[in-house]
Amino acid sequence: MNERAYYGHESQLFGVEEYRLTGGKGDGMRLLQVRNGKGLDFTVSADRCADISRLHFRGENCGFFSANGYVAPAYYDDKEAGWLKNFTAGFLTTCGLLAVGSPCTDEGVRLPLHGAVDNIPAERLLWDMDDEKIWVKAVMRHAQIFAEKLILTRTITCSKNANEITITDEIENVGGEPSPVMILYHMNMGYPMLSEAAELYIPAAEVTPRNAHAAEDLDTWNKVLSPTPGFEEQCYYHAFNGRPGLAAIFNHDRCYGLAISFDSSSLRCFTQWKMMGVKDYVMGLEPGNCYPDGRDVMREKGLLQMLAPGEKKTYGVRLTMLENETQFEALKQK
């Protein structure tokens, strides 16, 4: 018998439900909760760049939620490292579109930590589904008078037949002047998926420490530690050099994990953020078209990408849930 005969409303198994938060700094924020009926459950934060704030698989958490919790974009502080005051993290925080990484001055313009795009609400938002998939589409306008005029159109597609999510971003320069375009998918792995029982797999061609402190532990870049008081963050840059972009994590005690795949020719800079602190316990797996060293450094190194007036660029990542040891081992053998 057709499955539809068994339920009264499709939301019994799958679909999208819309919410608004009440109370605290997240008051009024729009959220879309998406379920595919196969064990995948995630939340799209419509007022924060349509980022994925929550990600669960079979009831188990995958992402990291910072001590800030949900914070509405009205609280955004665009001075220096003020971005940290409302960094929810969640599973995905998008960084860009004019700045990624350290505060800096580039060609006379002072730029803050990680840019502003993740604090831009969707001005157009829709969702729909068919027998094969569920999708959410959101449009964010990163623009101001006498300055940049960029439009980010994001489409999040979730399969109803497999535990997989695809994020596709089209960035268009609708202004009259060339504009830098920087994007980093700040994906944050958290407990219980992240623990001492988790194995990290990043098959890059080269691994480079960001600084001297990271270099001290280069030999154990992939080791997941226990929460450590006073831990100082470490970043490692992974170069794929033509190989397919891939990063995966699997918790052997919990028997689940996920893989992140991407086009390493367009997202050619991959950052691993290792932060094993107490209450700040997170592993960032971050494909991007730049490294988080500031726009001035990217320009100096010839890595800064530009968008001409009327030009569009498309970026994307795919998330695949790893449901058992066999899937994880098969991934490593590819």
Residue 74: give its domain's CATH number: 2.70.98.10
Element (H, E) at 167: strand 164-173
Edge-first strand order for the sheet with 30-35 is 15-20, 30-35, 40-45, 51-57, 60-61
Q: For residue 15, give its domain range.
A: 3-333
Q: What is the spatial distance between Cα 39 and Cα 6, in angstroms, rounded to a whole number? A: 18
- At residue 103, the pLDDT reads 98
In whole angstroms, give the CA distance from residue 286 to residue 283.
Answer: 10
**Prior bond to 55 cis, omega within 30?**
no
Angstrom distances, CA of residue 270 to CA of 47, 123, 197, 246: 26, 30, 23, 9
Task: Please state the domain count of the chain.
Answer: 1
Q: Which segments in the chain show pLDDT lower than 50?
A: none
Buried b / exposed e over 25-35, threshold 16 CB at 10 Å, is bbeebbbbebb
CB 116: neighbour CB atoms within 10 A? 20
User: What per-residue confidence (pLDDT) applies to 1?
Assistant: 80
Residue type, 302: G
3-state secondary structure of 325: helix
Which H helix or E strand runs over 165? strand 164-173
Residue-by-residue DSSP string for 56-77 = EETTEE-BEE-TT-S--GGG--
